[in-house]
Structures are given as structure tokens and as C-alpha cells.
Amino acid sequence: MEGFFGGLGDALDEQNWHAALVMALTLPDICGKADAPGGRSGQRYAAWFDRHVGSRYKHRIGAGREEVIFLSGNDCYALRCALLHEGSTDTSTHSAREALSRFHFCTPGQFNNGLHCIQINDALVLMVDEFARDVLDAARAWWASLTPGARQAAADRSIALHDTDNISI
């Protein structure tokens, strides 16, 4: 898992926003599979996102302090599918979506203006760096909370990169 975490951290440090976004949208898949190996990918993804990242995208707004979910696990999964399979942020035709049909990602820019977690009708505006860091921080906290046995079982199911100078398969 450290390779995935490091890859996302490096993408953020290098301001490689597309790579950071792809990694951030992939981590809940990887973590969800490690957390609950059975079941369907979309259900695992949404459950993991809601449990570990979702609170960062729930806010109490208005005079009545009504709780509003700006980004659910299902909407994030629909975004993951749209981006990874189509290179798009349009989720309007994805069956997993709940409330959102489009996403707009912004980069920090020279003045670091923040347009994060702003919903306009059925579109959500997110800062790519904040979103990616939220997922990365949640994934790291989740990983640290696992028992050594659970971490080892997840590592055993995960991809292994082999050094060609010292390969042993």
C-alpha cells in the first residue's frame, strides 16, 4: 500500500494533477477490496468512501444547520468510472450516481484560490489537491488502523513490482 500512497503523494508534490486525481479515485477501490474482499466493486468502493472519506464531504449549512452530503460514495464511484473508463467527469449516464451528474476540478494556481466543495445544481466543484489529499489521508489512517495480519493479507493480494536486477518470482 505504501507504493500507492507514495505515488499519490509524489503526484501531489509534483503538481501532476491528472495522476493525482486518477490515484485518488483508485485508492478507495484498492482499500475497499483489502477491507472487504467479497462483494461487488461498486458497493465496496462506496462503503469504504462513505466510512473513511465521506465525513469530509458532509457539512451543516443554512440557518437550520441541515446536514448536506456534497459527495457520497456512490457519486464518487460514478466519477471514478467516468474518469478511468472515459476520461470524463460527466456522470449523468452512470447508474451508480446519486445526486451529481458532473464534476469540475480546479488547481490551486498562483494565488491558491480555493473553490472546494461548492455545489452548483447537480455539479460539484472540487480542488484537485484537496480532494486527493483527503483520500490519501483517509487511506493512510485506515491502513494504520488495520492489524498487522490484515495488512499482510492485503499486501499478499496486492500488486508486487519486481526489480529486474534482483528478480525472484
Give the pLDDT band (50/70/90) at residue 95: confident
Q: Average pLDDT of 160-169?
A: 76
Q: Which of 69, 54, 64 is nearest to 124 (CA)?
A: 69
Q: Dmax over Cα atoms in the chain, in whole Å?
A: 63
In this prediction, residue 94 carries a pLDDT of 86
Q: Are strands 102-106 and 123-127 parallel, antiparallel or unpaired?
A: parallel
In this prediction, residue 54 carries a pLDDT of 94
Q: Average pLDDT of 102-126?
A: 84
Q: Give percent above pLDDT 90 in the chain.
A: 59
In this prediction, residue 156 carries a pLDDT of 85
Give the pLDDT band (50/70/90) at residue 165: confident
* Cell numbers found for residue 17: 494533477
The SS3 of residue 137 is helix
In the predicted structure, residue 160 carries a pLDDT above the cut 90? no
In this prediction, residue 23 carries a pLDDT of 97
Give the pLDDT band (50/70/90) at residue 21: very high
Q: What is the pLDDT of residues 53-83, one digit of tens each?
A: 999 999 888 888 888 889 999 999 999 999 9
Residue 60 DSSP code = E
Give the pLDDT band (50/70/90) at residue 35: confident
In the predicted structure, residue 168 carries a pLDDT above the cut 80? no
Q: Cα–Cα–Cα angle for 49, 2, 140, nearest 5°?
A: 40
In this prediction, residue 110 carries a pLDDT of 67
Give the residue with greater pLDDT, 20 vs 34. 20
Distance CA 14, CA 8 (A): 10
In this prediction, residue 98 carries a pLDDT of 82
Q: What is the pLDDT of residues 37-48, one digit of tens each?
A: 888 999 999 999
Domain ranges of the chain: 2-160
Backbone angles phi, psi at 89, to 5 degrees: -115, 15
